[in-house]
Amino acid sequence: MSPIDVVIITAMEEETLPFLQRASEVGEEVAVGNSVQRTGTLGGLNTLFVRGGIGLVNASAAATAALLRAQYEAPEAPAPLVISAGSAGGLGDLVRVGDVVIGTQNINADADARAFGYELGQVPGMPEASLVPEVLLDASNIGTPGHGTVETVHHGLMVSSYSFVGHERSAVIKEQFAGALATDMESSAIAQTCTSFGAPFLAIRGISDLCGPASDADFLTHVDDAAERSAAITCAVLASWQDAGLLRGDTELAFA
């Protein structure tokens, strides 16, 4: 059985669909807990497409199930690359609807164990922030991936929250986490799970709203477009990594 090269985790079917449309040899749906898994080939890579459900707990469970499957099917193979894809709310001053944010750091905005000496956003026993392997960032040329597919791609801090972030909550997050570019409800949990499994991780999210007074309506209007842009940039980044020989275990993807 061929090892899984890439796991792509999305929360909703609308976010999964653009990947399935680009893939070949897509298998039947398999329900694993609250998640749905499909195998397929994306850009020549053996890919596991996972619809994990919304929220940190669903995301962590989906990532765990996917990584355990990868271990079971190919015990001697390195852990696959895991990508958190789909939509996100924009927080950065220069971030706009239609942009894509690539998370170089991922923090749980709801974690607060400062009473015990941890940093705000740090889950006890975990790193202060989940960082992306530097070798992946260097090879991805993440300032300009997409080759014209998306006008603006940002890279930097992403935060995740148990709550959908509207105007009031966004003001608090921006004050607490300077420089945060985007927020979602899954990526930090997937990143922490990947840290536990020693799997490389990256979040690539299209911006559907700006966490403002009309963020809920904006999200519903733009989620499909955001998902499409996330898929486009993800495929461009995967192609860049393949060109650099960073997938299929060619290079050790140690965490930064």
- Residue 250 in domain: no
Span 91-121, pLDDT tens digits: 999 999 999 999 989 999 999 999 999 999 9
- Residue 58 in domain: yes
- Residue 248 in domain: no
- Residue 221 in domain: yes
Of 79, 65, 64, which is closest to residue 189 (Cα–Cα)?
64
Exposure string over 223-249, b if 16+ CB within 10 A, otherwise e:
bbbbbbbbbbbbbbbbbbbbebebbbe
Q: Could you list the active site residues?
A: 15, 209
Span 168-198, pLDDT tens digits: 889 999 999 999 999 999 999 999 999 999 9
Instruction: Supply the pLDDT for residue 15.
Output: 97
Contact call for residues 232 and 150 (beta carbons, < 8 A) = yes
Residues 128-150 have a mean pLDDT of 65
Report how far residue 181's alpha carbon sits from residue 153's, in angstroms, rounded to the nearest whole number: 11
- Residue 255 in domain: no
Q: CB under 8 Å to 131, separation ≥6 — which residues?
A: 104, 105, 255, 256
- Residue 252 in domain: no
CATH value at residue 44: 3.40.50.1580
Contact call for residues 29 and 37 (beta carbons, < 8 A) = yes
Report how far residue 77's alpha carbon sits from residue 28's, in angstroms, rounded to the nearest whole number: 24
- Residue 1 in domain: no
- Residue 116 in domain: yes
Structural domains of the chain, count: 1
pLDDT at 150 over 90: no
Span 31-62, pLDDT tens digits: 999 999 999 999 999 999 999 999 999 999 99
- State which residues form the domain around 99: 6-243
